[in-house]
Amino acid sequence: IAGITQAPTSQILAAGRRMTLRCTQDMRHNAMYWYRQDLGLGLRLIHYSNTAGTTGKGEVPDGYSVSRANTDDFPLTLASAVPSQTSVYFCASSERAGGTDTQYFGPGTRLTAL
Amino acid sequence: GQNIDQPTEMTATEGAIVQINCTYQTSGFNGLFWYQQHAGEAPTFLSYNVLDGLEEKGRFSSFLSRSKGYSYLLLKELQMKDSASYLCAVMDSNYQLIWGAGTKLIIKP
């Protein structure tokens, strides 16, 4: 693989169900990010990780959790899905945190919570 | 609050030139990015400006004026494949990207 992969590509989820979106990068980037993209709005940062073992909250963290056990993987978990979490979720990475490095994006996961 | 403004939609003709504007108000400034996003795909990096002036990269150029809180993306010799959304994003004082909603560019033959 090259770059960032996300799984699943799309998912329909019943309200109240738990769901983990997977993200893996093979670029050995230190920083990783989760965004959601909704029609008419800019990308909004959910959570981020500056390096393996650390995570931080972004603009819209409520209802989501993340972990960063190693450099490559950065899963996003919805503990109990609600319809307002219907969105397209993008994972991204950059070589460094706290700098102006370009962020590279995965192909996205389209999630529908009913 | 932090705010990035760009037009919702623009239409241009194949072979022509189009300028997409972006104005911003953010807490701090550590550079401005432009990304391209085709429908149903991931955003991909186009350009980065941190100093005032014009950066040219092939058919695409990006301009920045920090004093005016203003940038534009200039696309020349438009091709049908340039039909996409163009996202403006500013890196704030916390090194987090603040994103505009994007400009959907429609290219007509």
| C-alpha span between A73 and A75 (Å, rounded) | 6
Whether the per-residue pLDDT at B1 is higher than 80: the answer is no
Cβ partners under 8 Å of residue A21, min gap 6: A6, A7, A8, A34, A75, A76, A77, A78, A89, A91, A109, A111
Candidates A101, A102, A96; CA nearest to B46 is: A102
- Number of residue pairs across A and B with CB atoms under 8 Å? 45
**Residues 13-42 in A contacting B (C-alpha not used; CB under 8 Å):** 40-42
Compare B27 and A4 and report the one with higher pLDDT.
A4
Confidence of residue A40 (pLDDT cuts 50, 70, 90): confident
- Per-residue pLDDT of B87-96, as tens digits, reads 999 999 888 8
pLDDT greater than 70 at residue A66? yes
Q: Over pLDDT 90: what percentage of chain A?
A: 89
Coil, helix or strand at residue A47: strand
If you average pLDDT over residues B57-72, what whole number do you get?
Answer: 96
Per-residue tokens: B108: 């007509």
Q: What is the pLDDT of residue A1?
A: 52
Res A29: pLDDT: 95
Q: Is the pLDDT of residue A98 over 90?
A: no
Rg over alpha carbons for chain A, rounded to the nearest Å, is: 13
Whole-number pLDDT of residue B4: 96
Could you tell me if A106 and A91 are in contact, meaning their C-beta atoms sit under 8 angstroms apart?
Answer: yes
DSSP per position, B18-85: EEEEEEEE-SS-S-EEEEEE-TTS--EEEEEE-SSEEEEETTEEEEEETTTTEEEEEE-S--GGG-EE
Mean pLDDT of B42-65: 96
Question: How far does B100 lie from chain A, in Å, by closest CA?
Answer: 5
How many angstroms separate the CA atoms of B81 and A49, rounded?
34
pLDDT of residue B94: 85
Given a cut of 80, whether residue A107 has pLDDT beyond it is yes
> Distance, in angstroms, between A76 CA and closest chain B CA?
18
Cβ contacts of A103 on chain B, cutoff 8 Å: 45, 97
Residue A48: its H or E element: strand A44-49
Mean pLDDT of the region B58-71: 97
Q: What is the pLDDT of residue A73?
A: 97
Name the average pLDDT for chain B: 95
Q: Is residue A108 within 8 angstroms of chain B, CB to CB?
A: yes
Rounded to the nearest angstrom, the minimum Cα separation between B42 and chain A is 5
Q: Please provide the DSSP assignment of A54-89 as one string.
A: --EE-SS-TTEEE--SSSSB--EEESS--GGG-EEE
Mutate which of A6, A48, A87, A103 to disrupt the B interface (most B C-beta within 10 Å)?
A: A103
Say if A99 is an interface residue toward chain B (CB within 8 Å): yes
Question: A52 at the B interface (CB within 8 A)?
Answer: no
Cα-flanking dihedrals φ and ψ of residue B25, to 5°? Answer: -135, 110
Confidence of residue A42 (pLDDT cuts 50, 70, 90): confident
| Residue A62: C-alpha distances to residues A1, A37, A77 (Å) | 32, 15, 11
